[in-house]
Structure 1
Amino acid sequence: MSQPPPPPPNQPPQPQGGFGPPPGQQPPPPQPQGTPQPGYGYPQAPQPPQPGYGYPQAPQPPQPGYGYPQAPPPQPGYGYPQPPTVPQPGYGYPGAPQPGPYGYGQQPGGPAGGPAGGGRKPNAQLLIIVAAVVAIALIVVGGIWYSSSGKGGDGKHDTGSSSGGTGGKDGKDTTGGGSGGTEKAPADTASKVLFQVPMPTVATTMSTQGSWLTDKTYVKTGAAEVVGYDPAKGTRLWTIKLPGPVCEAARHTTEDNRTAILYEPAMPTKTDPSHGCSQVAAIDLDAGRKLWTKTVNSGDQPITFDNVTVSAHTAALGATEGGAAFDIDSGKLLWSPKVGDTCYDAGYGGGAKLVAVRKCGDYDNHQLSIQTIDPASGKVISEYKMTKGIEYASVVSTDPLVVAADVGDSAGDGSGISDFFSIDNKTGALRTRISAPGDQYAAKCEGISRIEYCKGVVVAADRIYVPTEEHEGGGSGTRSNEIVAFDLATGKQTGQRADSGDGYTITPLRMDGTALLAYKRPPYDKGGQVVSIDGGSFKETTLMENPATSQAHTVEQSMLPEYAEILYAGGRLYMSQVFANKPLTGVGGKEDLAVAFGTGG
């Protein structure tokens, strides 16, 4: 087993103390290795207003409450008290414009009757450079996604990370009765390490964003490659080599297991530390092959995109130069940026529906619009205009539609979330606004350029599930937290609460039918757990408990839920890093890119 990997240049060091033994009882956990310097590598932390590099935004450092800082005062009831909710007449259904709470106006939306927001149709003024279709015939691996059978809820594909996803359909409350899911507790919940994927050797820190799970393959990006592994043994089944590092990866797939990635056209060098994330490719995860690679030019330069997502059979990409989209099967261009347009699609949320975060106006005076659009044509279906002054927004879920924003930079913890906005997909009207102060809730979004990159929050069945920040636990020197649920129609807490237990930190993963799956990061003397939480009673059932051995514990503790990608299905837990790090001179031990735990034989 490896020692905990050092954080990448734009990732904070691993917090100390929060998951170690209480003072005086046990030696502290291994100290993190020194943080490598960016050097000539990447990803560099974006420097506004320099757009287009497409690298992940710098994760914000964990705030007090993650380790052993002063605990917030005890809170009554379930979770934490909320500010009074201003009534929303009709919860935003069609009617005359109504002022929303805290000055956030409701904007009835409707079909635009033309190209989505202007500029979503191909424009003759742009030169579209289409690279040759690259078909690397490799070992064909069959398999279907853990969607409605293994992931529950909506039959969509949200296995890309632990950010959560959607489940259930807009407006339907399916939290009563049985879970309807497929994840059942085994006779023996004790797991073992199934396999480890060693960290690739790289000359500098390199992005390894993206992981997916089918019923026959665990797929993980590596150093300028995408690899399919046997999900039980970790044997390499197929490899797609790329000319440069993967910058971003779509979290969703098509029904036939195709997805999209962004990558650089070449490897970084001292003279060219970045070549820009200009290459978009479609990947067939069943066949283990790249279907096509495309670029989009603005003038004579390729656009470097910031984010990519998939909805239906559309791969949509956002950037400060504007948005573009391709048919994921054929590679046909569906729309591209319009020259001279003062509005642009900063990014998209995918999955059940396609939602654009569109910006209009000057750099320091943006107006954000949240548009549900047709994935084939880009035509606007509905639109909600956010109040001016909100610079960034993240798409948490597209069905039900929920976006997050840090209003007035009030979160205070770098999470990117002070409020959630529940929006009607059909009309574009605001249903309700949910206050989620950064010092009380632990979800995080990186909406500056990574529009769909939210962690620790799940939306399903007209509910949003959010973890609280850590606070004092029941034992001496211990910490704990909860997952609480809010109603997306009323904005009020449902009264449901799932406790982590002393020393653990609980994070929602995804839905399994009407049950919520969650991961519990362990204290110093135990292994992590995966639990299923009944959608009605919120009763917890343990599905897996990982080994408490020092080696297993060390590698598990290196995979912080705030940054690592965490997938669970069929009694197996997959945890992976989103960066490959340059080895440090004089530091012993090997790092892991990914690790898999499993129950049963």
Structure 2
Amino acid sequence: MTQPPQPPNDPPQGGFGAPQDPPPGGFGAPTPPPADPFGKQQATPPAGGFGAPTPPPADTPPSAGAPQQPGPGYGYPQGQQPGYGYPQNQPTQPGYGYPQAPVPGQPQQGYGFPQGMPPGQPPQQGYGYQTTPMQQPQTPPQNGSGGKKFSTQMQIIVAASVAVVLIVAGGIWFASGDGGGKKEEASSSSGSTGGKDGENEDGGNKGGSTNDGPGTEKAPADPKSKVAFQVPLPKVTDVVKVDGSWLTDKAYVKTGLNEIVAYDPAKGTKLWSIPLAGQVCAASRHMSKDFKTAIAFEQSKPTKAVKFPPCNQVGALDLSTGKLIWSKSVTAATSGDAAVRFDEVTLSGTTVAAGGPEGGAAFDLNTGAERWKPKAATDGCYDKGYGGGEALAVVRRCGTYDDPQLVIQALNPTTGAPLSSFKMPPGVDDASIVSTKPLVAAADVGDTAGDGSGISDFFSIDASTGKLLTRIAVDGEKYAARCASGKVESCSQLAVGNNRIYVPTEDHEGTGEYGDTNEIVSFDLTTGKPTSDRADAGERYTMFPIRMDGGNIIAYREPPYDKGGQVVSIDGATFKQTVLMENPSDESVRDVETSFTKDYSEFRYRDGHLYLASMMVSKMRGSLDEGRRLVASFSRQQ
């Protein structure tokens, strides 16, 4: 999770994937591998995109091409977050799962990534590593002063003790080293240590089937794809959010400039558009079964008098018919006649829930009828934002600005009444909801992640009682996933299913001459333990989860400099990978594909169609932005 620390914000100016200048050494300069990269990893097809981030020196100045912060007051928190491809902010470390030790030599900067990261954090020892050499059993003195001759019985006892020590030490080495291939920084508040039925005690499946059932994505006869269509960036003069990307049975739907547009999945022709009074500032990532969803948008278009209109309109969309079903604003007891501003919106069942710094409100998806709205709170608490999907949960903020107390609550979607509550630990001033069923939250406790990812720990919570099932510590130097600062439902590059949370490891050097790679691993949501799951991206590729498909994980493989990206399905029981799509390796196509960065782009895949979409656009800056698009779509050739 190597991103630089930042204040709350949304992505910066400069657009997504804007090319940057290559570092000294020229295009293609190899990065020397560590003495023993990533344990003794088995040889796999090339993985880990060329030019993937490597740590810069601490005093490296910022790149002139680094993204800039959006203008203030644009309806979302200010600050700056880096896009995918920023260099990692820690010293180079040996392969994941190996004892920590510095790597000789100075790391080199990969092509196409800005420099200028803050000094990194020192590497941390994994759980179960020895911080001092193991002491050898000492033989009692024989015939020395005060000593007695070691009896045969005592020799047997000591020998047995030594054997136990060696067995335990060997088990720790296996769990933390190449044999297990997992991180051990998972601490559990639960007393449970055993596995569930059908699982090993480390959480690995052994029954040959996944808990959440089979997926619908099938292996193709030929995974090779072609470019289906591309949508150019709208012409803007400032930074504009374009959150929102949905797939129905007949269309790919995307937020545009003051409108929502549906495209034919194969041809890219415009099917319909929904004009809006102002720009979309938040969009639900969920849909109802009949393809309805929710958005929040600004009350008007920008003018000279009002350059940044407030984001105070909530609406419901019918993505089958291309209609805005309803839109409205609400007032709060503390805001007088002014409409409440919102940062986020989500959907659960027939409840549209919108949250922001002035509190939360909810509406009926079909009619727009108010279900609840912000009220004056005597305890100083308010609903910061909601997580939707199969259930509804809220991050509720109480206390003062300097000493907040965050509470995660499962809610009745119809009434908003809390079903259970869990108080986050001290030192948490920002939290995100990763999943509502099962209920999983994420936070950077005490700002200890050190990488700006917003994640130092995952919290698995019993939604019916509010009891903490387990707390999973995820070292920011070893794991890569992201929750945007100040946003409740924004986590990406992870997936939840099969009672597990699936996360990618950080990029690290592979076994080849150059190029990075990584893995997808998982943690059990009941015990907090790392499981035996491990999917290797392959040499010179890196990958991250897009979504679950039944009990399988759909993941995107970021390509090296001379290949196209891939979509794979990872079997949730065996972790065997199946390539669903392989994109063209033509340079012009690669330039477009790699302009979509994983931190600031939407990745949607279904049934042989992949859609990459920008979440924010800005003014074009000439030839450097030629590869940027609003949408790029790929389809399998058969």
Class of the TM-score when normalised by the shorter of the 2 chains: 0.7 to 0.9
- Partner AA of 2:81 in structure 1: P
Match of 1:508 in 2: 545
Match of 1:319 in 2: 356
Deviation at 1:562, TM superposition (A): 1.8
1:440 to 475, 478, 496: 478
TM-score by length of 1: 0.78
- Partner AA of 2:525 in structure 1: L
Deviation at 1:325, TM superposition (A): 0.5
Q: In the superposition, relative to structure 1, how do residues 524 and 227 fare at CA in structure 2: closer, same or farther (>3 Å)?
A: same
Match of 2:29 in 1: 23
Distance 1:371 1:28 in 2: 42
1:540 to 557, 577, 581: 577
On the 8 A contact 1:174/1:461 being kept in 2, the answer is: no
Q: In the superposition, relative to structure 1, how do residues 172 and 256 fare at CA in structure 2: closer, same or farther (>3 Å)?
A: farther
Deviation at 1:22, TM superposition (A): 3.7
Deviation at 1:24, TM superposition (A): 6.4
1:88 to 180, 190, 209: 190
Distance 1:472 1:407 in 2: 29
Q: In the superposition, relative to structure 1, how do residues 382 and 595 fare at CA in structure 2: closer, same or farther (>3 Å)?
A: same
Distance 2:68 2:551 in 1: 45
Match of 1:177 in 2: 209
Q: Which runs of 5+ in 1 are unaligned?
A: 1-5, 47-51, 92-170
On the 8 A contact 1:21/1:523 being kept in 2, the answer is: no
- Partner AA of 1:255 in structure 2: K
1:469 to 506, 516, 521: 506
On the 8 A contact 2:330/2:340 being kept in 1, the answer is: yes
Deviation at 1:83, TM superposition (A): 3.2
Deviation at 1:326, TM superposition (A): 0.6
Q: In the superposition, relative to structure 1, how do residues 21 and 427 fare at CA in structure 2: closer, same or farther (>3 Å)?
A: farther
What is the Cα-based RMSD across aligned positions, in Å?
3.1
Distance 1:489 1:44 in 2: 43
Written as runs of structure 1 = structure 2, the 5 A alignment for 1:182-221 is 182-221=216-255
Written as runs of structure 1 = structure 2, the 5 A alignment for 1:121-520 is 176-177=208-209, 180-297=214-331, 298-341=335-378, 342-448=380-486, 450-520=487-557
User: What percentage of residue pairs aligned between the two structures are identical?
Assistant: 47
TM-score by length of 2: 0.74
Q: In the superposition, relative to structure 1, how do residues 402 and 187 fare at CA in structure 2: closer, same or farther (>3 Å)?
A: same
On the 8 A contact 2:362/2:371 being kept in 1, the answer is: yes
On the 8 A contact 1:281/1:293 being kept in 2, the answer is: yes
Match of 1:597 in 2: 634
On the 8 A contact 2:397/2:406 being kept in 1, the answer is: yes
- Partner AA of 1:53 in structure 2: G
- Partner AA of 1:229 in structure 2: Y
On the 8 A contact 2:277/2:298 being kept in 1, the answer is: yes
The one-character-per-residue Cα deviations of 1:2-25 (angstroms, maximum 9, x if unpaired) are: xxxx9625979667779x964169
Q: Greater CA deviation, 319-328 or 172-181?
A: 172-181
Distance 1:88 1:546 in 2: 44
Q: Which runs of 5+ in 2 are unaligned?
A: 1-10, 32-48, 53-62, 98-176, 194-202
Match of 2:169 in 1: none
**1:524 matched to 2:561:** yes
Q: In the superposition, relative to structure 1, how do residues 174 and 452 fare at CA in structure 2: closer, same or farther (>3 Å)?
A: farther
Q: In the superposition, relative to structure 1, how do residues 80 and 64 fare at CA in structure 2: closer, same or farther (>3 Å)?
A: farther
- Partner AA of 1:391 in structure 2: D
Deviation at 1:73, TM superposition (A): 4.6
Deviation at 1:496, TM superposition (A): 0.9
On the 8 A contact 2:548/2:554 being kept in 1, the answer is: yes
- Partner AA of 2:29 in structure 1: P
SS in 2 for 1:378: coil
On the 8 A contact 1:15/1:66 being kept in 2, the answer is: no
Distance 1:572 1:503 in 2: 24
SS in 2 for 1:455: coil
- Partner AA of 1:377 in structure 2: T
Q: Greater CA deviation, 411-420 or 274-283?
A: 274-283
Distance 2:405 2:437 in 1: 23
Match of 1:59 in 2: 81
Deviation at 1:565, TM superposition (A): 0.1
Deviation at 1:301, TM superposition (A): 1.1
Q: In the superposition, relative to structure 1, how do residues 499 and 439 fare at CA in structure 2: closer, same or farther (>3 Å)?
A: same
Q: In the superposition, relative to structure 1, how do residues 12 and 526 fare at CA in structure 2: closer, same or farther (>3 Å)?
A: closer
